Amino acid sequence: MSASASTRPDESGADLVLEHVTKEFATFTAVDDLSLTIPQGSFFALLGPSGCGKTTTLRMVAGLESPTAGTIWINGKDVTDTKPYNRPVNTVFQSYALFPHLSVLENVAFGLRRKKVADAREKAQQFLDLVELGHLAERRPAQLSGGQQQRVALARALVNNPAVLLLDEPLGALDLKLRRQMQVELKRIQTEVGLTFVHVTHDQEEAMTMADTVAVMNAGKIEQMGRPEDLYELPRTAFVANFLGQSNLLPGSVVDSGELVGVDVGGARVQLPADRAVSTSGKVLVGVRPEKLHLVAPGEEPQAGWNVLPDAVLTDVSFTGVSTQFRAEVPGLGTLSVFEQNSRGSRAAAAGDTVRLAWDPAYTFGLDGDEDVDDGVTDGDE
């Protein structure tokens, strides 16, 4: 059922390409002019808060929703109007959606039987062994635990050797410990089978642990895409800076340009590498991650060339073992977070102390000054 036989010669190496894909529902736009290329064999994560359009994107790739506009290509073939059962794509559903009337083995063999694969039972058994559930083949899904059902759902999708494997928050229903275990396991399996995985999640840690490439989605658009390290170290929007980990974002205005841009933040002058800034004139947001900040107690001197914020008053000190987390109130800038490693014992700083905050300018990033400082801030860890 080749809806259109046209291929894209320039993208022939790419496994999954979305081109200007838009999905409008009656009352809102879930996905807004999204373009995306996911290379073959990669572990790709779509990360975003609920309602950002990540699941809708996944469902459009699976064929369970059809885009209002745009084109979806898989292996150079236009599949936009192809029915789900004719797409070389399989999904691990959030609810697993295992067939309750079939045995675990028959669940896994379901896709193979539809494709009339000769040794369906043997192949299904082989993939059950891969997820270490070979001994439960004759059970019903209801007789398995949540984690086991999750593995069956994974085996049921993997066994078909799809061009793209879609995972819709597959670890969402598992408890924290099992989730961490499955993250490692999923990564292992992906490396072993070498398929393209597209993983949808709202858990930033999950996305960063597993994926080669993370796309942060917000309000139907991709905010930023890249390697987890790059996204973390150099966020380009306030949303990414806040959604992926924590950030201190300080509103300021550029007073001096050059390779190191001078910025006035609340009366203090800090430096920002020009190549790490979204804009280098007018109003900007100066960003720095909490673990990059250091406390400088009275009597100590910050390292030469570092950015320094004077007159910070500690409002909260919480010792977490590995690190100590401080909240520091800086006049004109609000509250900043500071994480200090306790690698040389914990610091004898208490709430009410006045300190200076210092950091290496190389870790500073600059954002557009018109952005909302709190965009993408989440309450606690989901």
Contact positions vs another protein (CB under 8 A): 62-64, 83-86, 89-91, 93, 95, 97-101, 110-111, 114-115, 156-157, 160
Render 147-182 in DSSP notation, one character per residue: HHHHHHHHHHHHTT--SEEEEESTTTTS-HHHHHHH
**How far apart, in whole angstroms, are the C-alpha atoms of residue 292 and residue 363?**
7
- Residue 138 CA, distance from chain mean position: 37
State in angstroms the smallest separation of the CB of 98 from another protein: 8
Residue 151 C-beta: closest distance to another protein, Å: 16
* Contact residues for 128 (Cβ-Cβ < 8 A; gap 6+): 104, 105, 108, 134, 136, 137, 152, 155
The distance of Cα 54 from the centroid of its chain, to the nearest Å, equals: 11
Q: How far is the CB of 2 from another protein (least distance, A)?
A: 16
Nearer to another protein, 93 or 363 (CB): 93
Instruction: Between 99 and 319, name the residue whose CB sits nearer to another protein.
Output: 99
Least separation in angstroms between CB 153 and another protein: 9
**105-129: string of b/e by CB count within 10 Å (b at 16+)?**
bbbbbbbbeeeebeebbebbbebbe
Nearer to another protein, 9 or 100 (CB): 100
Nearer to another protein, 91 or 213 (CB): 91
Q: How far is the CB of 232 from another protein (least distance, A)?
A: 33
| Of residues 155 and 244, the one with the C-beta less far from another protein | 155
Query: In terms of CB distance, is 14 or 124 closer to another protein?
Result: 124
CB of 224 to another protein, least distance (A): 30
Rounded Cα distance, 194 and 11, in Å: 20
Q: Are 153 and 99 in contact (CB under 8 A)?
A: no
Which residue type, as a one-letter code, is found at position 275?
A: D
Judge whether 36 and 17 are in contact, CB under 8 Å.
yes
